[in-house]
Amino acid sequence: MKLESKVPQGELSTKWTQYKSSVPLVNPANKRNLNIIVVGTGLAGASAASTLAEMGYKVSAFCFQDSPRRAHSIAAQGGINAAKNYQNDGDSVYRLFYDTIKGGDYRSREANVHRLAEVSTNIIDQCVAQGVPFAREYGGTLSNRSFGGTQVQRTFYAAGQTGQQLLLGAYSALERQIGLGNVKMYARHEMIEVVKVDGKARGIIARNLVTGELERHFGHAVLLCTGGYGNVFYLSTNAMGSNVTAAWKAHKSGALMANPCFTQIHPTCIPVSGHYQSKLTLMSESLRNDGRIWVPKKKDDNRAPNNIPEEERDYYLERRYPAFGNLVPRDIASRAAKERCDAGYGVGPSKMAVYLDFKYNMTEKYGRAEATKRGISNPDDATLVALGKELIEEKYGNLFDMYKQITDEDPYEVPMRIYPAVHYTMGGLWVDYELQTSVPGLYALGEANFSDHGANRLGASALMQGLADGYFVIPYTIGSYLSKEIHTKPIPTDHEAFIEAEKRAKDRINQLMGIQGTRSVESYHRELGKIMWDKCGMARNEKGLKEAIEEIKALREDFYKNVRIPGSVDEFNPELDKAGRVADFLELGELMCHDALNRNESCGGHFREEYQTEEGEAMRNDNDFTCVFAWENKGENNWELHREELNYENIKIQQRSYK
């Protein structure tokens, strides 16, 4: 199989403009006769579904939650990047492009990333027009802050709940189209099979999660906007229901899976507190604007953090990376935290945590500025804390509340304790420049695809990519395919392809229900997560990965012998839903290990212990691995590797340095 990236010819900065001017259009009368299925209603799905419906296509949208507004994009906290240069700090489309390529450790496709940077500015305009209440300055202009891996302020935000506000904007646009009858919404529905006719995606089999019924839905094209698969690790910052099932069924129907081992471990999450823990909670990267990360200089220092004097603290990020300090990219900050904890300097009861401390900026930065503003000369410490606290509260109030709620400690008084956790998956379905997978008519948008973030995603870029794909990319690129489909009449759902796909789905469900063993689905998921975290997590090596593959195979076998799913198929049965998802994770986990094992280098979030510099930094092998690994499913847990070479024509590949 030859992978065609379909990157347009021409100079980088003109590719997208030229593409838009030359891509075939579908006239309004024909659009009305074309059906598009959108699976998932997060930022990518809701923005795509609403925009395509506005254009005149007939859209059916699906989500497994009880409402499209619940998609996990809602939980994104810190912000969204855009190259607006409102702060006059030298930002530009090129700089956003460059930062994203470098942040991704030179493992993403130049043309896709440049397009992303180009449309980033339109996203902010669109969201503001929808009534998204971004943070503003007193003069009424939009406010910005910094995120990791950049030296400009280009992140737009709405307190610590930017994802919520952006998703509610996209959701309102989607609901508007539902009200107008242009989108038919199917909530509490899960896609469990892709239907292909003559090699093209022509629909899906969805399961109604309330009644258990299987439904057949036809579409001239199918868009998967189903998010990432971080829950393969069991504990992650993803929502409980986030899963790989739709993407995995697409993969088994012929769509290639690209760079599946590229996982983002987020440096600042609330540490695990007990074995019962069901998920991990993120503390936004934006906190690193004002929080300083440190551990005690002495091993096993059991003093309370506020009793450890300044000179006995190791601000290890500021020490190791003076140019970027606490705002190094996520992969680097996570590894540095792991290094300190592994070396015995960790804090808290488990010793697997570091401090994120706001005291200095609360008093020295905000407190002092506010005191000056109010004409208080020589303010004492208590005054500075009180004044600074107000500003910190305004910027991060909801995050501080959440931290207190979970840990029962007040982060205004004591530093937060944080540790890295699985957060995002850069890997995903392989797509070309048009966001089409290797199956014609099947597209993947947002986190579900692999295309823009290389081996490490920069903060505040996930929201940007989801909305770019949905609002501004797919509405153009889908025309390239659908313009050739205007003569295709809707295929009746009693076509044999639908019957066969439904039978596959039904057989699988009956197989799972028929096992009636002794172990809960949850227990398998937890065990898989532990294997993945220990052996395919923040650090990987050949021996561990080979072991993990065998362990996952054994666990999968056991699952199909001993899992117990209560209830029946024809009712609301969350345990059955979960069983289907965990079954897919048990296959994906193995592929991730193969991917990590074959990539004999370290890059971004993929850290192979065999490949590191003397200082412990990731060591890439550009000669052999400046490429995408795209895996083709060859039946029963068997895969064939294809490569897409990445050509850097505009950026010179360098050793990534944030020192």
Partner 1 sequence: MGNSMKINLKVWRQKNQNTTGLFETYSVEASPDMSFLEMFDVLNEQLIEDGKEPVAFDHDCREGICGMCSMVINGRPHGPKQGVTTCQLHMRSFKDGDTVVVEPWRSNAFPVIKDLSVNRGAFDRIIASGGFVSVNTGSAVDANSILIPKDIADTAFEAATCIGCGACVSACKNASAMLFVGAKVTQLSELPQGQAERESRVVAMVNQMDAEGFGACSNTGACAAECPKEIPLSVIANLNREYYKAKLNGK
Minimum separation from the CB atom of position 522 to partner 1 (A): 6
Tokens found for residue 81: 């990047």
Catalytic residue (one of 330, 417, 540, 656)? 330
85 binds partner 1 (CB under 8 A): no
Judged by CB under 8 A, which of 3, 54, 197, 553 binds partner 1?
54
Segment contacting partner 1 by CB under 8 A, of 14-22, 72-80, 104-112, 629-637: 72-80
Q: Which lies closer to partner 1 via its Cβ, residue 53 or residue 336?
A: 53
CB distance 232 to 532 below 8 Å: yes
Judged by CB under 8 A, which of 24, 131, 322, 616 binds partner 1?
131
Judged by CB under 8 A, which of 184, 252, 279, 553 binds partner 1?
279
474-482 vs 43-55: helix axis angle to the nearest 10?
Answer: 60
Q: Which residues contact 450 (CB under 8 A, 6 or more apart)?
A: 258, 259, 262, 426, 427, 428, 429, 430, 431, 628
Minimum separation from the CB atom of position 399 to partner 1 (A): 10
d(CA 172, CA 104): 32
Tokens found for residue 30: 């024909």
520 binds partner 1 (CB under 8 A): yes
d(CA 19, CA 29): 23
130 binds partner 1 (CB under 8 A): yes
d(CA 490, CA 352): 56
d(CA 573, CA 209): 7
29 binds partner 1 (CB under 8 A): no
Tokens found for residue 256: 């290639």
Residues 34-53 that bind partner 1 (CB under 8 A): 47, 50-51
Q: What does DSSP say about strands 416-425 and 354-357: parallel, antiparallel, or unpaired?
A: antiparallel
Is-catalytic flag, 519?
no
CB distance 565 to 507 below 8 Å: no
Residues 391-430 that bind partner 1 (CB under 8 A): 401-402, 405-406, 408
d(CA 379, CA 418): 31
d(CA 514, CA 568): 10
Residue type, 268: T
Helix (H, G, I), strand (E, B) or coil at 260: coil
Q: What is the DSSP letter of 364?
A: I
522 binds partner 1 (CB under 8 A): yes
Segment contacting partner 1 by CB under 8 A, of 163-171, 190-198, 325-333, 539-547: 163-171
69 binds partner 1 (CB under 8 A): yes
Residues 554-593 that bind partner 1 (CB under 8 A): 564, 566-567, 571-572, 574-575
Segment contacting partner 1 by CB under 8 A, of 3-11, 110-118, 270-278, 488-496: 270-278
Segment contacting partner 1 by CB under 8 A, of 155-163, 245-253, 358-366, 641-649: 155-163
Q: Which lies closer to partner 1 via its Cβ, residue 140 or residue 635?
A: 140
Segment contacting partner 1 by CB under 8 A, of 12-20, 65-73, 100-108, 289-297: 65-73
184 binds partner 1 (CB under 8 A): no
Judged by CB under 8 A, which of 122, 208, 562, 637 binds partner 1?
122
Judged by CB under 8 A, which of 2, 21, 90, 274 binds partner 1?
274
Q: Which lies closer to partner 1 via its Cβ, residue 156 or residue 321?
A: 156
Q: Position of tokens 């996203």? A: 123
CB distance 218 to 491 below 8 Å: yes
d(CA 261, CA 463): 21
Tokens found for residue 335: 């590894």
Judged by CB under 8 A, which of 159, 261, 512, 552 binds partner 1?
159
119 binds partner 1 (CB under 8 A): no
Residues acting as catalytic residues: 330
